[in-house]
């Protein structure tokens, strides 16, 4: 199972953009990059996913490096409700998802 590396924690000021990095140097050509976030006492919530091209949705943007060995989740304007643990995960052809420890995002008012 391909592994990802994320910083343990990050801080952001409210209403400013947040860039959450993820390294996945052993990614294979068919692995999708997924991002999930988890609020306390809740199950993880899907945020966004992509393969090669950058992706945008109502929650966030995903920027994927040209060599696909890294990616960045972008929250355009952080709110207090965005404080959560963010997981970057690679999914293989069998749709198996292996979570790491994620990045704990603190949003400062």
Residues 63-92, mask of contacts with other proteins (x by CB under 8 A): ----------------------x-x---xx
Return d(Cα 14, Cα 24) in angstroms, integer: 28
Q: Total residues at the site for other proteins (CB under 8 A)?
A: 27
Q: Is 40 in the site for other proteins (CB under 8 A)?
A: no
Task: In angstroms, give the least distance from the CB of 9 to other proteins.
Answer: 12
Answer for which of 53, 58, 67, 94 binds other proteins (CB under 8 A) is 94
Are 29 and 51 in contact, with CB atoms under 8 Å apart? no
Q: What are phi and psi of 23, to 5 degrees?
A: -105, 135
Q: Is 10 in the site for other proteins (CB under 8 A)?
A: no
Q: Is 53 in the site for other proteins (CB under 8 A)?
A: no
Radius of gyration of the chain measured on its C-alpha atoms: 13
Name the percent of the chain in helix, strand, coil, to the closest 5. 5, 50, 50
Q: Is 51 in the site for other proteins (CB under 8 A)?
A: yes
Q: Is 61 in the site for other proteins (CB under 8 A)?
A: no
Residue with tokens 């949003």: 107
């Amino acid at each position: 199972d391909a592994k990802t590396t994320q910083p343990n924690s990050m801080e952001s000021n409210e209403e400013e953009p947040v860039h959450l990095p993820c390294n996945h140097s052993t990614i294979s050509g068919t692995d999708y990059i997924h991002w999930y976030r988890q609020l306390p006492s809740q199950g993880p919530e899907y945020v966004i996913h992509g393969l090669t091209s950058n992706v945008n949705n109502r929650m966030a943007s995903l920027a994927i490096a040209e060599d696909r060995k890294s990616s960045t989740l972008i929250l355009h304007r952080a709110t207090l409700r965005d404080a959560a643990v963010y997981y970057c995960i690679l999914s293989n052809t069998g749709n198996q998802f292996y979570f790491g420890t994620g990045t704990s995002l603190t949003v400062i008012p």
